[in-house]
């Protein structure tokens, strides 16, 4: 479930060509379970109609202090009540003109009046042409607005309406939603904690066109990375080959292929991390002598000599500091609990997450998972089948308990 579920969001839309993206932003917010009240400036109506945004938000759009009533009587759109109603206000796109007004307290329309009355967090997502965005007056206004406690959603680099390429492009709606989700998911205990996560399979080369791998999709590791990022942690994700999109724009992803590459990338980051979650499905064996040329089909029987890969969890477990928390995964098909406890001890984990392939809907490829977690004192926590995002939230809670004891 999104952290936006049930939240009341004021969305300010201003006069920018990027206003067309507000339609998608509203759709994503509503899909996340948020209530959205749209406020438009008069200039915004030149770029997108109030009817479009009202239809998507399922609420009337306000742009004036009064609206015509059904009997011709005026209805006051109380800017103070609107400001008090909201859990969060986001202005996207925020034009150079609107940023200048808000930075200096000008109040000549409903949007600026609501902004000045807001006691909730306010997010600003600028959108304008490259030279406007770089102009000293705009940069000064942005600094001034941030000094008031407003949160800035940085403009992105890309092609602009003028044909120029550079900064000034409105952040993509998915990125804005991720920022808002991260705001509501923040936990002080995770703020700026360095978290290292591995995810996905590894691929061990046989020749230039073939490899040995497994069925891991990376979904579980990516869900865990998203949960930590939204909780305020600084996340590094070392990922084997996966089609999963980057789960949060704030996450730093390092892409690898083989078990050796995963070890090298993880080992290089290990000492910086306070929390390490080893969710990747790493190959236990790799071909001893990969061929440089494609192997031709000749013999009816083909033997492949294999050698053990480095045990990443065991190696890092020997280097683990007392202030570090490490979490491992065990995917088992038999003697599940005994095997998981043995792995917990041997690899110096604080927590181990047990999956059984015998549980329907759990394991590789599914959007759901069913886990049992064992801590270093061998206490057992059993969870029902649920989405991998909710599994990640459960794991986050257990890590938080461990962190409070360090």
- Name the phi and psi angles at 136, rounded to 5: -55, -35
User: Is residue 214 annotated as part of the catalytic site, yes or no?
Assistant: yes
The response to whether 329 counts as a known ligand-binding position is yes
Q: Is 119 annotated as a binding residue?
A: no
The answer to whether the beta carbons of residues 90 and 122 sit under 8 Å apart is yes
Please calculate the CA angle 146-149-152 and round it to the nearest 5 degrees. Answer: 45
**Measuring CA to CA, how many Å separate 76 from each of 81, 87, 113, 228, 366?**
11, 21, 13, 43, 51
Residue 193 to residue 186: CA distance in whole angstroms: 12
The reply, when asked if residue 193 is annotated as ligand binding, is: no
200 closest CA partner among 258, 154, 121, 251: 258
Q: Which of 77, 141, 150, 214 is catalytic?
A: 214
234 in a labelled binding site = no
270-287 b/e with 16+ CB inside 10 Å = b? beebbbbbbbbbbbeebb
Listed in sequence order, the residues at least 6 apart from 82 whose beta carbon sits closer than 8 Å to its beta carbon are: 10, 37, 39, 62, 114, 117
The three-state secondary structure class of 312 is helix
Answer yes or no: is 343 a known binding residue.
yes
Give the H or E element holding residue 179. Answer: helix 173-185
Rounded to whole angstroms, the Cα distance separating 406 from 402 reads 7
Binding residues for CTP, by number, are 284, 294, 329, 343, 347
- Residues designated as active site: 214
Q: Which residues carry a binding-site annotation?
A: 284, 294, 329, 343, 347
């Amino acid at each position: 479930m999104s952290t936006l579920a049930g939240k009341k969001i004021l969305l300010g839309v201003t006069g920018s060509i990027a206003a067309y993206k507000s339609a998608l932003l509203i759709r994503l917010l509503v899909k996340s379970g948020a209530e959205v009240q749209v406020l438009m400036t008069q200039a915004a109506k030149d770029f997108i109609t109030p009817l479009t945004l009202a239809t998507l938000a399922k609420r009337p759009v306000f742009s004036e202090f009064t609206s015509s009533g059904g009997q011709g009587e005026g209805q006051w759109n109380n800017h103070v009540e609107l400001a008090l109603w909201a859990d969060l206000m986001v202005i996207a796109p925020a034009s150079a003109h609107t940023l200048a007004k808000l930075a200096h307290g000008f109040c000549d329309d409903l949007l600026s009046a609501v902004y000045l009355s807001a006691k909730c967090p306010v997010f600003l997502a600028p959108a304008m042409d490259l030279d406007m965005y770089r102009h000293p007056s705009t940069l000064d206004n942005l600094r001034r607005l941030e000094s008031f406690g407003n949160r800035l959603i940085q403009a992105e680099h890309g092609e602009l309406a003028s044909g120029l390429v550079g900064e000034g492009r409105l952040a993509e709606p998915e990125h804005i939603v991720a920022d808002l989700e991260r705001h509501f998911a923040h936990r002080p205990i995770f703020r700026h904690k360095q978290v290292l996560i591995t995810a996905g399979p590894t691929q061990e080369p046989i020749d230039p066109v073939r490899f040995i791998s497994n069925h891991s999709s990376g979904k579980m590791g990516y869900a865990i990375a998203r949960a930590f990022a939204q909780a305020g942690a600084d996340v590094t994700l070392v990922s084997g080959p996966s089609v999963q999109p980057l789960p949060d724009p704030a996450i730093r992803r390092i892409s690898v292929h083989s078990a050796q590459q995963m070890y090298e990338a993880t080992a290089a980051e290990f000492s910086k991390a306070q929390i390490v979650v080893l969710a990747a499905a790493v190959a236990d064996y790799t071909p001893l002598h990969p061929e440089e040329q494609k192997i031709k089909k000749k013999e009816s029987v083909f033997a492949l000599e294999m050698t053990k890969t480095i045990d990443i969890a065991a190696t890092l477990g020997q280097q683990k500091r007392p202030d570090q928390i490490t979490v491992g995964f065990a995917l088992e098909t038999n003697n599940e609990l005994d095997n998981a406890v043995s792995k917990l001890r041997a690899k110096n984990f604080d927590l181990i997450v047990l999956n059984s392939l015998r549980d329907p809907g759990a394991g590789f490829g599914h959007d759901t998972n069913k886990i049992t977690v064992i801590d270093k004192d061998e206490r057992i926590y059993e969870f029902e089948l649920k989405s991998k995002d909710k599994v990640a939230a459960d794991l986050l809670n257990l890590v938080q308990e461990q962190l409070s004891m360090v």
